[in-house]
Amino acid sequence: MADFSWNTQSPLQKALVAGRHGVASAQAGVTLVEVRDLVLVQVMARRGKAADTAKAAKKLFGVDAPSTPKAVAGKTATLVWSGPDQFTVLAPRTDESSQIDAMSQAFSGSASLSDQSDGRCLIRVSGPRGRDAIAKFSSLDLHDAAFPVGAAANTAVDHTAVNFYREANGADGHPVYSMLVFTSFADSLWHTIVDSSLEYGVDTSRTRAAA
């Protein structure tokens, strides 16, 4: 039998062509980044164990887990609300198995965990016109008053389920939005975002999750 090995590759391997697309003005209106090397775990409290789950999260991450649609930055991970009594843990990958072991122990008996590290793709949209590009395909109200830094939403964009949240503003002072999408839909969503951004000029790249 032929030797056979699986290679991991980005779901955006083909779609992401790094560089400038669309209008070639001096400054790109939109910056589009695929964030790689994440550990991503869905935490779902078990029936009657919501309080225990919150306590375990506080102990492990040093912050209160979000109980409303918000993204909260903890010690080693960002916790993003993903439904009643459930949230997603996002951490830069260091040593995946020990990271997941630590969570398994912390939430033992209180919550069910599901490793989604390679099941989702994280796409980050920023730049002065990032919000305008998103407005073309999302029905969310992204006004600062309605969707401030730290806000999160489970929503459907372009008929695709997305965990959407807003990070701290970029160095340029403009908002930064992150979208977690199922890997098999990442290619399609990526094209949607790029197409929506062409008129503003878009810089695309991939990066490693910051530790």
Partner 1 sequence: MRIACPFCGERENGEFTYLGDASPKRPNFAVDSGESPERVEDAFYDYVYLRDNVAGFMREYWYHGGGCRSWLIAERNTVTHEFRSVTAAPGVGASKPVQAGE
69 binds partner 1 (CB under 8 A): yes
Going by DSSP bridges, is the β-strand pair 30-36/202-208 parallel, antiparallel, or unpaired?
A: parallel
45 binds partner 1 (CB under 8 A): yes
Measured distance CA(42)–CA(211) in Å, rounded: 20
Distances (CA, A) of 182 to 59, 113, 138, 187: 29, 17, 17, 10
Nearer to partner 1, 35 or 111 (CB): 111
**Minimum distance, C-beta of residue 55 to partner 1, in the bound complex (Å):** 13
CA 70 from centroid of its chain's CA atoms: 12
Distances (CA, A) of 192 to 84, 85, 198, 202: 29, 31, 10, 13
Nearer to partner 1, 33 or 152 (CB): 152
Q: Output b/e per residue, 57-88; b: 16+ Cβ within 10 A.
A: beebbeeebbeebbbbebebbbbbbbeebbbb
Q: Which stretch binds partner 1 (CB under 8 A): 10-18, 20-28, 40-48, 93-101?
A: 40-48
**Minimum distance, C-beta of residue 84 to partner 1, in the bound complex (Å):** 3
9 binds partner 1 (CB under 8 A): no
Nearer to partner 1, 36 or 46 (CB): 46
**Minimum distance, C-beta of residue 139 to partner 1, in the bound complex (Å):** 4
CB-based burial label for 99 (10 Å; 0-12, 13-18, 19+): buried
3-state class (DSSP) for residue 132: helix
Nearer to partner 1, 8 or 68 (CB): 68
Q: Which stretch binds partner 1 (CB under 8 A): 2-10, 125-133, 150-158, 192-200?
A: 150-158
**Minimum distance, C-beta of residue 194 to partner 1, in the bound complex (Å):** 23
**Minimum distance, C-beta of residue 22 to partner 1, in the bound complex (Å):** 28
Interface ranges with partner 1 (CB under 8 A): 44-51, 53, 68-69, 82-86, 139, 153-156, 161
